[in-house]
Amino acid sequence: MDKIAKIREARTGLAAEKWIAEDDKSLPFWVADMDFKSPAFIEEALTERAAANYYGYTEINPAVKQGIADWFKLRHDLEVNPADVFVANGVKRSYAAIVGRFMEPESAAILMTPLYPPLTKIIKDLGHDVFESQLTCANDRYEIDFANLEEQLKTHGEISTLILCNPHNPVGRAWTVDELTKVAQLAKKYNLLVIADEIGRASCRERV
C-alpha cells in the first residue's frame, strides 16, 4: 500500500475533513492539516487529561495566556501582557466576531486576492461589500499592487477596513517590513481598521 493510501486508511472513521472530501486519486493539499505525527509529550498530556474523566465546562487556564505571552517574547521579542490575551475558538470565528464588532454596518472592506476564501465570504455574509485588489505576479513572486490599492481607497470612500493575511494564503509570501510599512501608511492616510490573519506566522523563517 502506498503512503497516501495508508494515511487515508488510518484517517477513516475520524471524520477527517481533509481526507473524506477528496476522491481516491487527488492529493488533498487544500488545507494545512500537516499529517505529521504529533510529539509524544502532546499525546501524553492529552491522554492524562482524558484519564481525569472530566468533560464539564472549564475556564481558560492562566498558563495558556502566559504561554502565549512567552512565545511572543521568544519569537518576536514582543512584550505581551497575559491579561490582554483573549482566547477564542479558531481564527474564522474570531475574525467573524471582530468584523461584527468593529465594522460599521454600511462600511466595506478591501482585501488582496487571491485569498483564503473564508476571509472574503465571512465579511460578505455579515452584509458588507468587499473590494478586491489583485496581487501581481512576476517571476513566481507575488507583490501587493500599491497603486491599485490606493486608487480603490480613493475611489471607494466607504472602505473602512483592510484585511491583511500574513503570510498570505495562498501565494506563499510573508510581507516584508517595507511592504507592511506601506500598508500601515495607507491605513493611516485613509483611516482604516486593519484586521490581520497571521495564522501561518509560526512557519515563517528569516529571509523566506
Ligand X SMILES: Cc1ncc(COP(=O)(O)O)c(C=O)c1O
Q: By the criterion CB under 6 A, which residues form the site for ligand X?
A: 31-32, 90-92, 116, 165, 169, 197, 199
Q: Are 144 and 179 in contact (CB under 8 A)?
A: yes
Specify the residue, 116 or 190, whose C-beta has the smaller distance to ligand X.
Answer: 116
For the CB of residue 2, give the shortest distance to ligand X in the complex, in Å.
25
Among 111, 79, 129, residue whose Cα is nearest residue 194: 111
CB-nearer residue toward ligand X: 47 or 101: 101
The distance of closest approach from Cβ of residue 95 to ligand X in the complex, given in angstroms and rounded to an integer, is 7
Burial category of 133 from C-beta neighbours within 10 Å (exposed 0-12, middle 13-18, buried 19 and up): buried
- Kindly state the smallest distance separating residue 155's Cβ from ligand X, in Å: 27
Q: 82 and 62 in contact (C-beta within 8 Å)?
A: yes
Q: How far is the CB of 162 from ligand X (least distance, A)?
A: 15
Which residue's CB is nearer to ligand X, number 69 or number 119? 119
Residue type, 122: I
